[in-house]
Structure 1
């Protein structure tokens, strides 16, 4: 299988790419700083990527633009960017790549546990992820038999939390470890394993697969 993976070179995107290669697949990596450049906030950029890449079997997008903060301090532009990348970007990827996928192909997007678990300061992130879940279900019907699914990670140890600073990141992880039924935060390879399942299971579509250590339960 030939899979387009969109996101940062490390973290979840890197783990997904490694998992696909280990399964015998071929990966095309795209992102703002990848060999194949794409800006998911720019439809022209997505269309150009589709022309360059051509036909693929699957498309995986791990891209995000997080907008943390409460309603009192959220930046409007940051909220727009969050929706542009994960929600509108997913729709535009479907528009430009669905004609290039086989009937057995699929899209996998990344949602997040904040869509189901309310955490102060994660208002815009949660709203964005909930919208991704809705887009996933709708596209699964619109694009059928092409499959459309999402993976909803919990707290995963990637560079996504580095912006909090070392002290706040450590405190967040300690809090999750203390309350999560799994007793720890997740690893990028565990999210990648879920993505690979959705790419290869031909009878799964319209699903948001939670890989969150049970943190949405508490």
Structure 2
């Protein structure tokens, strides 16, 4: 499928994976609408159904919807708070369900949704319990929506370790050490980039025979 002159709504921060996705879509001739909590022109809060409904009403017809939005929920079991877990689910699980509810009626039969999961759904590790549970729920939502909304397609992207600034909170030394370790152990022998993930988004938007799947972009990290 050509995306030229199609309208794609991208929801997320104006940086990292969302920014790389927007750039790649613009290069493909797409009419891109970037929305998010901090957007002045297209504000949307995925934890608020009225906000999603308002955005849908203001935009009218769109061809594809991509949501990269997430909420940080890392932490050891002893430190996890219910509010943190709830926000993670509200942003990445309930939010996409509500996006489908309000935007599916506005989309053509060959339209699609792309949501974001993560390799923690398949590879458990300490400190990632809430993140992994959230991502596993996203995978289930994608499969269910692909059946319920057919022929609209619904897929997810599952990034591994991607250098987008998400790891900056570790501090320079710990970030460098983590990246060095994972680049050594994963089969791709490098850390992923935002364009790596954006390319997978473009694939799911254009391949009309892919639906109900979570596409890993992790350098094989989940294998080791």
Q: Into which bin does the TM-score normalised by the smaller protein fall?
A: over 0.9
- Looking at structure 2, the residues matched to 23 and 186 of structure 1 have their Cα atoms a distance apart, in angstroms, of 22
- Alpha-carbon offset, residue 99 of structure 1: 0.4
Does the alignment pair 1:13 with 2:18? yes
Give secondary structure in 1 for the equivalent of 2:78: coil
Does the alignment pair 1:26 with 2:57? no
Provide runs of 4+ in structure 1 moved above 6 Å: none
Which residue does the alignment assign to 1:59? 65
5 Å matches for 1:128-207? Answer: 128-207=134-213
Which residue does the alignment assign to 2:45? 39
Give secondary structure in 1 for the equivalent of 2:18: helix
- Looking at structure 1, the residues matched to 53 and 176 of structure 2 have their Cα atoms a distance apart, in angstroms, of 40
TM-score of the two chains, using structure 2 as the length reference: 0.95
- Looking at structure 2, the residues matched to 166 and 77 of structure 1 have their Cα atoms a distance apart, in angstroms, of 29
Does the alignment pair 1:87 with 2:90? no
Q: Between Structure 1 and Structure 2, how many residues are aligned?
A: 218
- Alpha-carbon offset, residue 165 of structure 1: 2.5
Which residue does the alignment assign to 2:124? 118
Give secondary structure in 1 for the equivalent of 2:32: strand
Give secondary structure in 2 for the equivalent of 1:155: coil
Gaps of 5+ in 1: none
Q: More deviation in 31-40 or 131-140?
A: 31-40
TM-score of the two chains, using structure 1 as the length reference: 0.98
Which residue does the alignment assign to 1:210? 216
